[in-house]
Chain A
Amino acid sequence: MRYMVAGEAGNLVAQMRRGVLPYCVLAMLRDKEQYGFELVHALGGIDGMVTGEGTIYPLLARLRRQGLVETTWQESTAGPPRKYYRLAGAGEEALAEFTESWQRLRESVDELLARSGQEPLR
């Protein structure tokens, strides 16, 4: 691993996390709609998923603009009105496509990592 700069792996993980986060959000909405605070708080509680919960809101806004999620307002008995997020048809398709690609990539990388124990990769 002499060819890799120290710290690069950490940076790469941050980039990967950023890349998969939208799909993790879609996955969290697969079974039931959730309101912003609920969704963001749950994601924030998953180890290593997000650094600041606030950064999920711009992502949610983008998913909505892209038509991958839909939003509805609902009154709440305990607090302010809640904006509920729900998976849209295009979101389901994007999630299905990602799930397939992810599984394929993960299997390939796992296999390579296991194999490269004997012969170091350049």
Chain B
Amino acid sequence: MSRSHDITDDRLVADYLNKLAAAAAGLPADRRAELFEEISLHIAEARAVQATAAVAIRPAVADVLERLGPPEDIVRAAADDTETDATAAAPAPAAPRRRVLAIGTVILLLLGGLLIGLGWIAGVAMLWTSARWRTSDKLLGTLVWPGGFVAILSIPRFGAGLPPLLALLLLLVGVAAPIVVAIRLLRRAWRMPGGPPPPHTYQPA
């Protein structure tokens, strides 16, 4: 490739990246830096391929940039994603049924023990067959406590011989732990496949 070609290509790339930087000015700084790095690397990689490829299949820099698309479109996609993240808690089209299922599972885990234990077993089955929880969540949901709140009902009987303070503490832990686990399960169900909200949201300039 001739030197004049290189210079023209360099200018094309610089123009493209300048446009990208200008368009991305409204993005949060970390998103902007990440996007710029990825796109720069993409172009550098394409040019490295270009340098080693046979002339006949050598992709022109202009083609590489055209395939990348207008910088404004890339930034719009990044801005959309920023908004998507921020509203991850808003229901997605398929979310309501999943959430009802998640809530049902958690209620069965907490209170299903009251239905001769069968409700709790159903809750555990729902917990383990769902893809929305990780194994660690499933273990927690199953082990804290088997039978849910029903397990706590046995504390007064157990605790008869214990000092009152210890019995009270046991009772508090017994009640609080399943609630904490339930909240964790629900939070996880709410987030999948959305992520936690980002610290910033995109403000159009």
List residues of A whose CB falls within 8 A of some B CB: 22, 35-37, 40, 44, 51-55, 57-62, 65-68, 76, 78-83, 89-90, 93-94, 96-97, 100-101
CA of A82 to CA of B81 in the docked complex: distance in angstroms?
23
Extra contacts besides A53-B69, A80-B41 (13): CB < 8 Å: A36-B42, A36-B45, A52-B73, A55-B69, A57-B74, A59-B81, A61-B35, A61-B78, A62-B81, A62-B85, A65-B198, A79-B49, A96-B131
Residues of A within 8 A of B193 (CB): 22, 66, 68, 94, 97
Q: Is B26 an interface residue (CB 8 A)?
A: no
CA of A53 to CA of B78 in the docked complex: distance in angstroms?
13
Query: Do residues A62 and B195 form an inter-chain contact, with CB atoms below 8 A?
Result: yes
Query: Do residues A97 and B35 form an inter-chain contact, with CB atoms below 8 A?
Result: no
Residues of B within 8 A of A81 (CB): 41
Query: Do residues B195 and A66 form an inter-chain contact, with CB atoms below 8 A?
Result: yes
- Minimum CB–CB distance from A67 to chain B (whole Å) comes to 7
Residues of B within 8 A of A96 (CB): 131
Residues of A within 8 A of B195 (CB): 62, 65-67
Question: Can you list 11 A-B pairs with a CB-CB distance of less than 8 A?
Answer: A36-B41, A52-B73, A53-B68, A57-B38, A58-B80, A78-B49, A79-B44, A80-B44, A93-B132, A96-B131, A97-B132
Residues of A within 8 A of B192 (CB): 90, 93-94
Q: Which of A51, A57, A59, A65 has the most CB of B within 10 A?
A: A57
- Minimum CB–CB distance from B161 to chain A (whole Å) comes to 45
Residues of chain B from 149 to 205 with CB closer than 8 A to chain A in the complex: 192-195, 198
Residues of A within 8 A of B67 (CB): 44, 52-53
Query: Do residues B45 and A52 form an inter-chain contact, with CB atoms below 8 A?
Result: no
Q: Is B99 an interface residue (CB 8 A)?
A: no
Residues of A within 8 A of B52 (CB): 78
Q: Helix, strand, loop or mixed for chain A's interface?
A: helix
Q: Which of B74, B84, B85 has the most CB of A within 10 A?
A: B74
Q: Is B48 an interface residue (CB 8 A)?
A: yes
Q: Is B57 an interface residue (CB 8 A)?
A: no
Interface flags, B75-92, vs A, CB<8A=1, else 0:
011101100110000000
Q: Is B94 an interface residue (CB 8 A)?
A: yes
* Residues A58 and B42 in contact in the complex (CB < 8 Å), given A51-B69, A52-B74, A93-B134: no
Q: Is B71 an interface residue (CB 8 A)?
A: yes
A37, A52, A59, A66: the one within 8 Å of B46 (CB) = A37
CA of A78 to CA of B41 in the docked complex: distance in angstroms?
13
* Residues A54 and B81 in contact in the complex (CB < 8 Å), given A65-B195, A94-B192: no
Residues of A within 8 A of B74 (CB): 52, 54-55, 57-58
CA of A68 to CA of B85 in the docked complex: distance in angstroms?
14
- Minimum CB–CB distance from A8 to chain B (whole Å) comes to 17
CA of A97 to CA of B97 in the docked complex: distance in angstroms?
14
Residues of B within 8 A of A82 (CB): 41, 45
- Minimum CB–CB distance from A106 to chain B (whole Å) comes to 14
- Minimum CB–CB distance from A100 to chain B (whole Å) comes to 8
Query: Do residues A57 and B69 form an inter-chain contact, with CB atoms below 8 A?
Result: no
